[in-house]
Amino acid sequence: MAPHNPYVCSVVPPYLLNALAESEHNSEDIRTSARHCLDFSKNYIIKRQRVFAELTAPRGARNAAAPHRHRGFIPDNLLKHIAESEDVDEETRKNAKRDLEHIVSIQAKYQEAQGIAAEPRTLTTLSAPAETETTYRAVYDAHHTQNEGNLPGTVVRVEGQKAVTDAAVNQAYDNAGNVLSFYLDIFNWKSIDNNNMNVISSVHFGKYYENAFWDPEIAQMVYGDGHDFLGNFTNAVDVIGHELTHAVTEHTSPLDYQGQSGALNEHISDTFGIMVKQRVQNETAEEADWLIGEECLMPGVKGVALRSMKAPGTAYNDPRFGKDPQPDNFKDYEVTGDDNGGVHLYSGIPNKAFYLSSIAFGGYSWEKAGKIWWETMQSGQIPPRCTFIQFADATVDKAEELFGDDAAAIVRKAWNEVGVVRKTHA
């Protein structure tokens, strides 16, 4: 029997990992693996918390304290590869050549300003990104390395290139495209930063690695192949939408990754991830199943998904995992020190409010409810340490502004039904 992977997917919430570690229904090697996984996921939670703390720090302190963060821009040698590749369509070749010429000119200006001789440089060495008109995708093979220092790996498929023989590469490429087209077509948002930032993905990370995550410091997606319980990550467009939306949140209204604001951060990722999935499947709010991560549960697991936005707390009930503990009402909210203050646990409360709003509006979820949530994140009215009631009030105000009093009443009713109620004073 193959050895169990010592890590489990970071899209899986810590409370599920903890249940795996403590369940007597699991073998000791699985329990030990889950304990290792908890330590691993904490590393990425710390990274995410650090990134959002940096983004929400006062402007003066931000520049002084902020570490260098690789933004994942396409290096000029890869653009040259795209521009010269016979496997890439002509339009993409022309775009890559145009952007390569632009990058070279930017590099020359940078070098001149620094008083240094011209020499080959990649875009990642520049102090500011060069603007491009095209979003580039690139998928790499990590060759089962478990060392992040070896990422991204070997390039396999780039923007405009035809499908390859590796199914995981094609799924990662296509589903990143589904997320990007959703943001562009529905909200006129270009890539994840509104400036055509490229999207880098690495597949085949680790051996039996049940993991898929957005690394906020190296700015790329990473996918394992999965194993006994979890897998199929490159085919789960809602999970990819969820993870890439964390990056979008960095560029709209950064929410501190702690407590209620952290739960709202997770909620925003679920909300836009589910809308991407519904668009790909061409489902109205009424037709959709509102399940997050249903592709990730392997056969034999007693459950339907990682989370349910329609009915939080019902996604799974397996002796090896425990029962889905997400509450669906704010009356069950309790302050906790676990999971950065319950950022994964309590995201189900606003998730259900979005579901109820979408059902009440009818049609496609992104037409009204999604537009309200998107414009709320763009409004500048969301503080870094936003509470549920503050966010609820902001969505109600935006609903009224966009669609009138009846829409505002629908959104307020949805929040009231999940217990996020504005207090009145006699």
* Domains of the chain, start order: 76-235 (3.10.170.10), 253-417 (1.10.390.10)
Q: Is 101 a known active-site residue?
A: no
Q: Which tops the pLDDT comparison, 229 or 114?
A: 229
Report pLDDT for 147. Answer: 78
Q: Is 243 a known active-site residue?
A: yes
Report pLDDT for 71. Answer: 37
| pTM of the predicted structure, to 2 decimals | 0.79
SS3 297: strand
Q: What are phi and psi of 257, to 5 degrees?
A: -90, 65
Average confidence score pLDDT of the chain: 80
> Which residue is catalytic, options 4, 242, 267, 344?
344
Q: Which tops the pLDDT comparison, 56 or 295?
A: 295
- In 10 A of CB 323, how many CB atoms? 15
Report pLDDT for 32. Answer: 67
Report pLDDT for 105. Answer: 58
Burial class (CB within 10 angstroms; exposed 0-12, middle 13-18, buried 19+) of 163? exposed
Whether residue 177 is predicted with pLDDT greater than 90 in this model: the reply is yes
Whether residue 269 is predicted with pLDDT greater than 50 in this model: the reply is yes
Report pLDDT for 116. Answer: 44
The answer to whether 186 touches 165, Cβ cutoff 8 Å, is no
Residue 48 C-alpha from the chain's centroid: 11
Which residues, 6+ apart, have CB-to-CB distance to 168 below 8 Å?
203, 204, 223, 225, 234
Choose among 128, 119, 118, 122: nearest CA to 74. 122
Most confident of 132-146, 241-255, 366-380: 366-380
- In 10 A of CB 23, how many CB atoms? 16
Whether residue 115 is predicted with pLDDT greater than 60 in this model: the reply is no
> Which residue is catalytic, options 243, 250, 266, 294?
243
User: In percent, how much of the chain has pLDDT > 90?
Assistant: 47
Residue 252: pLDDT band with limits 50, 70, 90? very high
Query: Mean pLDDT throughout 72-76?
Result: 44
17: tokens are: 């990992």
Residue 289: pLDDT band with limits 50, 70, 90? very high
